Amino acid sequence: MSTVSLKDVTKVWPDGTIAVNHVSLDVQDGEFLVLLGPSGCGKSTILRMIAGLEDPTEGDILLNGDPVLELAPRDRSIAMVFQDFALYPHMSVSDNIGFPLRLSGVEPSTRVDRVGDVASALGIGDVLGRKPSQLSGGQRQRVAMGRAIVRRPGLFLMDEPLSNLDSGLRAELRAEITGLTKELGVTTMYVTHDQAEALTMADRVAIMRKGILQDVGTPTEVYGRPATLYVAAFLGSPRMNLLEASVYVHLDQYIVLKFGDQSLYLPWSDIRARAVAHYHGERIVVGLRAEALTPVAPEVQGDVLRGRIRYLEHHGHESLAFLDIGATAIVVDEMGAGKAEGEGGNALRRFGGALQKLAGRSSNGSGPQSRDQGDPASVLTDPGRHHRRPAELAVRLAPYPAISPGHPLSVAVRMDMLHFFDGRGDRIDVGWR
Ligand SMILES: Nc1ncnc2c1ncn2[C@@H]1O[C@H](COP(=O)(O)OP(=O)(O)OP(=O)(O)O)[C@@H](O)[C@H]1O
Ligand SMILES: [Mg+2]
């Protein structure tokens, strides 16, 4: 049984790379916490600091409420499974799993019992006599897990343990890992860059970007109410539609959200209306997930967006239509992927200007520091972060619909399911922290 606390932990490598930037995080006893984020965001560095393999530059780490930075890794009661785990090739499965027990001088008969228990829990009880070379990838992965848990650690750290496996086996092992850690009641921190894996496995998800913790919450919380534009863009499939909108307030009636030539009307009765109304005359980012959009007949009026299908994607159980609605999409540069190109670069600078205006307001000390990036000013001036392009609104349709690209399509919008973000990428919401 273990709890973990990171208190304002920072890790700066000798070359100046800030791998982890003022992260504070509490993991509860018995919790399965998933650290999620793209490559290089500092996930492994966090696990390695908890395990004692690296020292933080600043901050403190507590296990069960006690500071552990002075403790050697072996005194922390932690087991870690790495992505590129190595088994001892000349040892049997049984000896591989039992190796940590042998090292700590556990009696052979107890060892056999404990290895047997762990192996049967992992479904590899019938291959105990084999060598690693005679196992499948999934079986080898289970042996590595068995070796980690056989010592009955208080805390289990797993760094992308499934990333070498094919997708079918991954899905199967996901369920097994969460089942096993729950059964053992062991606190687990699990690293992945796969958002679907995080949402299916986690009690809570902690989302990282460039060393900064963006959001922490249950899968329902972070999916349903993402703290930043980045989290909104990272979670869910298809990706959330992120549209630039101009805001005009008609006091006591409604707020017009204008996307190109089309508008949606947020009623004044919406609990978020007052927060959004602060942006009168400015631009914000409006997020619409596919589940907020329902295809309707062309004559339907009200909260409806209209466009033409640019292309269709068939996924077997559903098809996705991508609609050109004459709006501008904000593309979050979350994966370190492409910067704006050509005309996009100009557009980007224009949007950067709008963002800067917002920054002027929020960096004068009134608001909290943006989580979207460490330095609030750079959020708004760094042209590599977001870029704009014509929106292609992702809409769910029944599988293989009888329509084709070029077709007009109207979609009704659930206004209560919209997400709003300011120019810094922070959520605009009622009572937002
Ligand atoms: N020993 C090191 N010396 C210098 N820089 C390092 C070292 N280890 C990691 N880094 C850098 O620190 C940052 C965070 O690395 P980390 O390994 O924690 O990322 P990650 O989130 O685990 O990524 P991945 O998903 O690719 O494993 C990266 O920029 C990386 O290049
Ligand atoms: Mg890593």
Domain definitions of the chain by residue range: 4-226, 231-421
pLDDT in tens, 242-298: 999 999 999 889 999 999 999 999 999 999 999 999 999 999 999 999 999 999 999
Give the dihedral of Cα atoms 79, 80, 84, 86; nearest 10 deg. -20
Cα-to-centroid distance, 42 and ligand 2 (Å): 7
CB 283 within 8 A of CB 243: no
- Out of 20, 41, 159, give the residue to mutate to test ligand 1, the one with the largest number of ligand atoms within 8 Å of its CB: 41
pLDDT in tens, 308-323: 999 999 999 999 999 9
What is the percent of the chain where pLDDT is above 90?
A: 66
Q: What is the mean pLDDT of the chain?
A: 86
CATH of domain 4-226: 3.40.50.300
pLDDT in tens, 170-228: 888 888 889 888 888 899 999 999 999 999 999 999 999 999 999 999 999 999 999 99
Which of these, 240, 223, 208, 191, lies nearest to 372 by C-alpha position? 208
How far is residue 159's CA from residue 125's CA, in Å, rounded to a whole number? 25
Cα-to-centroid distance, 173 and ligand 1 (Å): 26
The pLDDT of residue 359 is 36
pLDDT in tens, 67-102: 999 998 888 889 888 877 789 999 999 999 999 999
Q: Of all protein residues, whose CA lies closest to atom 20 belonging to ligand 1?
A: 40
Q: Is 41 in the pocket of ligand 1 (CB under 6 A)?
A: yes
Model confidence at 35, in pLDDT bands (50, 70, 90)? Answer: very high
pLDDT in tens, 224-256: 999 999 999 999 999 999 999 999 999 889 999
- CB atoms inside a 10 Å sphere around CB 241: 27
- CB atoms inside a 10 Å sphere around CB 180: 21
- CB atoms inside a 10 Å sphere around CB 120: 12
Cα-to-centroid distance, 143 and ligand 2 (Å): 21
Torsion sign across C-alpha atoms 62, 65, 67, 72: negative
